[in-house]
A and B are shown apart, each in its own frame.
Chain A
Amino acid sequence: MMKEILEMAAAYAEEAELYRVRSKSSEVIFEANRLKSIDSSFEEGIGLRIIKQGKIGFSSSTDLGQPRPLVKAASDSAQFGQKAHFHLPSADSTSSVECYDDSLISLSLEQMVREGRKAIDLILKEAPFLHCEGEVAKIEAEISILNTNGLSHSYKRTSYTFSLGAFLAEEGNFLGIGEGEASVKYHDWSSSVAQRILEAFRLTRKKGSISPGKHPVIFTSKAVPLLLQSLKQGINGKVLQKKISPLLGKIGKPVVSSFIDIFDDALFPFALATSPVDGEGIPSRRTPIIEEGVLKNFIYDLQTAGLMDTETTSNGARGYGSLPSPATSNFIVKEGKVPLQEMVKDIKEGIIVDQVIGSGQGNVLMGEFSVNLDLGYKVENGKIKGRVKDVMVSGNSYTMLNNVLALGSESRFIGTTRTPPIYFKEINVAG
């Protein structure tokens, strides 16, 4: 079927590419401490990109049985499309990557229900008044890319997510703790996720308060992605091409503290964004972004690289419904040497940031952020004192990444970002 559509499109265009996604997911959902729903989804869609008289055309559809409107829409679109600054890739050798787990396919719904149930029971045993909700989901997807330059690639990927939230409404003191794990592979996360929620819950039983002003701060792994938003935009080739990246002209120059190393790595075993090729069929790779604080690379897809007279970094990200665009894959912040407890010990008066609300609302491009502390703790004389709330924390993420005191010794994945906790010189607290 795909070959026929491609042939039909080839009649209108110099080059054509089909991108197809088929996915199957099953999910068990817990609400108010009980199993509430068992859901499935079966998705299928194709995107057709063409180069016609040197210009890019695109259309997408979920209806594979009706290729004619799709081909016509792509052809119409090319009339107005952007000039193509690339050729579609031909077949290339790819290294094998770990993005599929057989055992996930045979994992039963009953087992997923049992693990979710187990985690909730563990939490309720200690804190019966908490309201838990959770999702355990497995996804299997098949991605196929086919183009008129001979590339034909198809691969399967899986993912398994286990996420849980615990909520407590007390007059003047609402609490919500969210924890989860996600990977290509199946693993029984029920105990560790429940334990993490309980640890956080115990710390919130005491109240802490902090005076407005500047204080040292630890961002937990869960909170670090907030500070990486700006950097992820700044290294995006498209943002660079529009000349609005604050990192413009900074290749080879220090942009963050000298002991920070960051990679974009689509080859990282069993991570959520791991794949043999990117959305354009370019073999995946590991791209150094920052080495010892020095900016090494921006990330590109084919078109953006063409516009900037450079090579793609295999970061053409897409779904079937859109053209590729540069985006990070697995974003890896290399861990340091300092255990979290040591960071806490070092603080006389400061805070730990774990969850915030209002992220992404400020001038992200410039690094500005200002958020409400949804879940955070006061540190006093080297000890965690209790929960701090009703305050805003703000700063500039570039400034903060230039004032790192220590990187944690243990990393974890938060979505597609793998990071240790990070200890910063200061953050501004208002409240």
Chain B
Amino acid sequence: MKSFLSCCLKRVKADYLEIRYEEVKVVGIHYVGKELEAIGESYEKGGGIRAKSRGGWSFVSFNDLSKLKDYLELATKGAHLIKGEEIKLASLPARNEVISVEVELDPADISLEEKYLLCNRYNKILLSGKEIQTSALRYADIHTTKYFINSEGTYIEQERIDTVLGMRAIARRGDNIQSAHMGIGGVGGYGLVKEKAEQAEETVKRAQDLLDAEPAKGGKYTIIVDPELSGVFAHEAFGHLSEADFLYEDKRLQKIMVLGRVFGPPGLNIIDEPRIKGEGGYYLYDDEGVPSQKTYLIKEGRLSGRLHSRETSAKMGEEITGNARAISYDYPPIVRMSNTYIAAGDKSFEEMIEGVGEGIYLKGFRGGQTNLEMFTFAPEEGYLIKKGRLHHKIRDLNLSGNIFNTLASIKAIGNDLVLFTGPGGCGKGGQSPLPVSTGGPHLQIRDVVVGGK
């Protein structure tokens, strides 16, 4: 592959040129209720070319490698149609790397029948609850080989195996329908999804328990979030705002997001760290061939860094971080998070809840979104807190806050950091889902708006 790509690359002229090519093999199993909706293996091969002229980019994606020469020409022609201010890329030493994957229990060595039997067993558990109406289960193992070559002499070949499992139990009592979800897996082998019967049972219990929960009452509350939501909070309520492509061309936003600005209490640290083995956002080189690294977004409450591509890094004169990622060959790399988490503090959960007169304890994750100023996230379930104790269960919660105030309203940071990965992931610029992990310790936050009746 290397000699073929480099040979094609040499024939064309552009300021900068790169070719990414991917070979993907996916084994997927999908249950909805009793019915096995899909099972089997599929294959995808394709590439993406990025060419840069002095003042513009062109990106061409394709499936048919035999026409690579034509596509390269089209990309360089496209880029040259754009005249404008010069685009610079942060400089990078050329590299040659071939990274092969090592996993325990390679899913390729497990028969389709064994995978089927495992999913069938979990799905039966999901359907076993007395008030369970239906289920949804998605298993996938994905073997990806990525080739990267650019006109600066870099060649990187990376192999990766992801194994993920998502389980949902849907309970029904009359007109009341509630669901609970569990996502497991990440970068790694079949071991990640084996022996998860207990998690399936627990998902069933959560769905059934939600039938008895009371709908939340809207208003402002002191909340405590569990580590799963804490991670979503790190991702939605801050992470996206630290992606430099939102502000590298926007002077006003740069003034608002000046390094050193106080965002939260002194004990607050938010970190993006791609090189955590096994997590969804794990990678050694990003999709521009830049080595990944750990970046402090917030250090002791102050804005201390942001995530960059080669272009945003050069434009802002800040250190390159290796955060340009693409969900697949048919998209260009853009600035993305990897594994983003809030570092552990010193409070125990008991200490945290003791101080809450009336509030809400929130658990589990359904979704989250941001517009860079406001964020929302939806927990799966909650408990009303009264006089420092968990009271009854509540549901239909959706939270919202202002990124600039809410971090400052963090009043306690737990000592129990956990990272979460699984199927699903992050969406941005039409690219979804990108595998990421998020995590944090329990947090206590004041004055959060909870939507409800």
Q: In the docked arrangement, what's the CA distance between A425 and B397, Å?
A: 23
Q: A39-B58, A39-B59 are in contact. Are A363 and B177 (CB under 8 A)?
A: yes
Assess the A169–B367 pair: CB atoms within 8 A. Answer: no
Chain B residues within an 8 Å CB radius of A368: 396
Of the listed stretches A54-62, A284-292, A333-341, chain B binds: A54-62
Per-position contact with A for B367-409: 1 when CB-CB < 8 Å, else 0? 1111111111110000000000000000111101010100000
A428 at the interface (CB under 8 A from B): yes
Of the listed stretches A97-105, A240-248, A261-269, chain B binds: A240-248
Assess the B376–A82 pair: CB atoms within 8 A. Answer: no
Question: Which of A40, A63, A74, A109 contacts B40 (CB under 8 A)?
Answer: A74
Per-position contact with B for A27-39: 1 when CB-CB < 8 Å, else 0? 0000110111111
CB distance from A329 to the nearest CB of B (A): 21
Chain B residues within an 8 Å CB radius of A325: 37
Chain A residues within an 8 Å CB radius of B67: 42
Q: A37-B57, A242-B133, A363-B396 are in contact. Are A171 and B256 (CB under 8 A)?
A: yes
Q: A58-B38, A174-B372, A430-B218 are in contact. Are A358 and B178 (CB under 8 A)?
A: no
Chain B residues within an 8 Å CB radius of A393: 451
Of the listed stretches A118-126, A201-209, A219-227, A370-378, chain B binds: A370-378
Q: A212-B218, A357-B371, A361-B368 are in contact. Are A42 and B42 (CB under 8 A)?
A: no
Assess the A374–B250 pair: CB atoms within 8 A. Answer: no
Q: Which residue of A lies closest to B178 (CB)?
A: A363
Q: Which residue of B lies closest to A31 (CB)?
A: B249
Of the listed stretches B3-11, B73-81, B280-288, B301-309, chain A binds: B73-81
Chain B residues within an 8 Å CB radius of A359: 369
Per-position contact with B for A70-106: 1 when CB-CB < 8 Å, else 0? 1001101101111000000000000000000000000
A150 at the interface (CB under 8 A from B): no
Assess the B82–A40 pair: CB atoms within 8 A. Answer: no
Q: In the docked arrangement, what's the CA distance between A46 and B176, Å?
A: 41
Chain A residues within an 8 Å CB radius of B330: 41, 43
A323 at the interface (CB under 8 A from B): yes
Assess the B62–A42 pair: CB atoms within 8 A. Answer: yes
Per-position contact with A for B245-262: 1 when CB-CB < 8 Å, else 0? 001011011001000000
Chain B residues within an 8 Å CB radius of A374: 371, 374
Assess the B252–A129 pair: CB atoms within 8 A. Answer: yes
Q: A39-B59, A76-B112 are in contact. Are A244 and B40 (CB under 8 A)?
A: no
Chain B residues within an 8 Å CB radius of A366: 176-177
Which of B41, B250, B366 has the largest number of chain A CB atoms within 10 A? B41
Per-position contact with A for B48-62: 1 when CB-CB < 8 Å, else 0? 000000001111111
Question: Which of B60, B112, B219, B375 contacts A430 (CB under 8 A)?
Answer: B219
Question: Which of A62, A82, A371, A372 contacts B35 (CB under 8 A)?
Answer: A82
Chain A residues within an 8 Å CB radius of B38: 58, 322-323
Question: Which of A113, A241, A323, A392 contacts B398 (CB under 8 A)?
Answer: A392
Q: Which residue of A lies closest to B210 (CB)?
A: A363
Assess the B63–A392 pair: CB atoms within 8 A. Answer: no
Q: In the docked arrangement, what's the CA distance between A307 and B37, Å?
A: 13
**CB proximity to A under 8 Å, residues B46-104:** 46, 56-64, 67, 71, 74-75, 78-79, 81-82, 84-85
B109 at the interface (CB under 8 A from A): no
Assess the A361–B256 pair: CB atoms within 8 A. Answer: no
CB distance from A377 to the nearest CB of B (A): 16
Assess the A41–B61 pair: CB atoms within 8 A. Answer: yes
Q: In the docked arrangement, what's the CA distance between A323 and B30, Å?
A: 11
Assess the B398–A76 pair: CB atoms within 8 A. Answer: no
Q: In the docked arrangement, what's the CA distance between A370 and B368, Å?
A: 12
Q: Chain B, interface size: which category?
A: 35 or more
Assess the B41–A77 pair: CB atoms within 8 A. Answer: yes
Q: A169-B250, A362-B396 are in contact. Are A44 and B64 (CB under 8 A)?
A: yes
Chain A residues within an 8 Å CB radius of B350: none
B179 at the interface (CB under 8 A from A): yes
CB distance from B35 to the nearest CB of A (A): 5
Assess the A80–B367 pair: CB atoms within 8 A. Answer: no
Assess the A77–B40 pair: CB atoms within 8 A. Answer: yes
Q: In the docked arrangement, what's the CA distance between A65 and B45, Å?
A: 12
B33 at the interface (CB under 8 A from A): yes
CB distance from A34 to the nearest CB of B (A): 5
Q: Chain A, interface size: which category?
A: 35 or more
Q: Which residue of A lies closest to B49 (CB)?
A: A40
B435 at the interface (CB under 8 A from A): no
A360 at the interface (CB under 8 A from B): yes
Assess the A394–B398 pair: CB atoms within 8 A. Answer: yes
Assess the A363–B179 pair: CB atoms within 8 A. Answer: yes
CB distance from A144 to the nearest CB of B (A): 16
Assess the A39–B332 pair: CB atoms within 8 A. Answer: yes
Assess the B249–A40 pair: CB atoms within 8 A. Answer: no
Q: In the docked arrangement, what's the CA distance between A150 and B79, Å?
A: 46
A69 at the interface (CB under 8 A from B): yes
Q: Which residue of B lies closest to A395 (CB)?
A: B453
Per-position contact with B for A305-348: 1 when CB-CB < 8 Å, else 0? 00100000000000001110100000000000000000000000
Chain B residues within an 8 Å CB radius of A243: 133-134, 172
Q: In the docked arrangement, what's the CA distance between A171 and B261, Å?
A: 13
Chain B residues within an 8 Å CB radius of A321: 42, 44
Question: Which of A63, A70, A109, A173 contacts B81 (CB under 8 A)?
Answer: A109
Q: A244-B134, A358-B398, A430-B451 are in contact. Are A62 and B172 (CB under 8 A)?
A: no
A185 at the interface (CB under 8 A from B): no
Assess the B56–A61 pair: CB atoms within 8 A. Answer: no
Interchain residue pairs with CB less than 8 A apart (20)? A38-B79, A39-B60, A39-B78, A40-B74, A42-B64, A44-B63, A62-B43, A63-B63, A66-B43, A73-B42, A76-B112, A321-B44, A323-B37, A361-B378, A365-B179, A370-B396, A371-B451, A389-B374, A430-B219, A430-B449
5 smallest beta-carbon distances between A and B, as pairs: A358-B376, A77-B40, A370-B451, A32-B249, A430-B218
Residues of B within 8 A of A (CB): 32-33, 35-46, 56-64, 67, 71, 74-75, 78-79, 81-82, 84-85, 112-113, 116, 133-134, 170, 172, 175-179, 218-219, 247, 249-250, 252-253, 256, 330, 332, 366-378, 395-398, 400, 402, 404, 449-453
Given contacts A35-B56, A358-B376, A392-B376, 4 further A-B contacts (CB under 8 A): A70-B43, A80-B39, A243-B172, A428-B451
Residues of A within 8 A of B (CB): 31-32, 34-45, 57-63, 66, 69-70, 73-74, 76-77, 79-82, 109-110, 113, 129, 131, 167-174, 176, 212, 238, 241-244, 246, 307, 321-323, 325, 357-363, 365-366, 368-372, 374, 389-394, 428, 430-431
